Amino acid sequence: MRTRSVAVLGAVVLLTLTGCDSQDEPAFSAPPPVAIAEQPAASAGGACILWDYAFIRQKIGVTFDVAASDQVDDTSTCVVQTTDADYPDLMLSVVETTPATPAQFLDDLKPAKATTLKGLGRAAYRLYAPPAAGHGPAIELGWLSQAEQLQTLRFTFDQKAPAAAVSAMNPKLIALAKAMNTTDG
């Protein structure tokens, strides 16, 4: 019993010497917040390996900082966004290879309301989509690349995007698509 009393007395003395009493703050505190390092878009894999944030910013003037990808069979996708909001976002889809000719692409793969776009790949289209489901309008470019890949680029605006911003994005997306147009397999 005496040993136990000495141990308790030693603990009380130790707590007194370290300044702990019921009035003090807890002896532990939460660690400081950890800064999250920006991962390159390519680290998401899939079609994201074709992008980096600086390249996108240079071509279209929008800064993104998070990327996600998926792969299903021979189709690879990538979506980039900001950590602050769901929109705007930019999506890229690449079908590894296709036997489609330019005529087949325009006849069978171009959406009904799309217009034919000249000067991009072997054949291309542009499609405008109206605002829907919590986002603003979207511009989609689809093309048959020189390397016989099907590529689709889609920029979706936030709900508050003015019509002038949509018009201004059009040539920027075309420039981005042209910079990405693959020339070999």
> Domain of 106?
41-180
Q: Does residue 125 contact residue 117 with C-beta atoms inside 8 Å?
A: yes
Reported as a single tens digit per residue, the pLDDT across 35-55 is 445 688 889 999 999 989 999
Decide if 32 is inside a domain.
Answer: no
Count: domains in the chain: 1
Reported as a single tens digit per residue, the pLDDT across 131-165 is 998 999 999 999 999 999 999 999 999 999 999 99
Decide if 1 is inside a domain.
Answer: no
CATH number of 117's domain: 3.40.1000
Decide if 99 is inside a domain.
Answer: yes
Q: What is the mean pLDDT of residues 16-24?
A: 46
Decide if 17 is inside a domain.
Answer: no
Task: Give CA–CA dist 30/47, Å, rounded.
Answer: 39
Task: List alpha helices for 37-149, DSSP H.
Answer: 53-60, 102-104
How far, rounded to the nearest angstrom, does the alpha carbon of residue 107 sit from its chain's CA centroid?
31
Q: Does residue 120 contact residue 69 with C-beta atoms inside 8 Å?
A: no
User: Mean pLDDT in the chain?
Assistant: 84
Reported as a single tens digit per residue, the pLDDT across 55-112 is 999 999 999 999 999 999 999 999 999 999 999 999 999 999 999 999 999 999 999 9
The yes-or-no verdict on residue 31 having pLDDT over 90 is no
Decide if 138 is inside a domain.
Answer: yes
Q: Does residue 42 contact residue 48 with C-beta atoms inside 8 Å?
A: yes
Decide if 25 is inside a domain.
Answer: no
Decide if 20 is inside a domain.
Answer: no
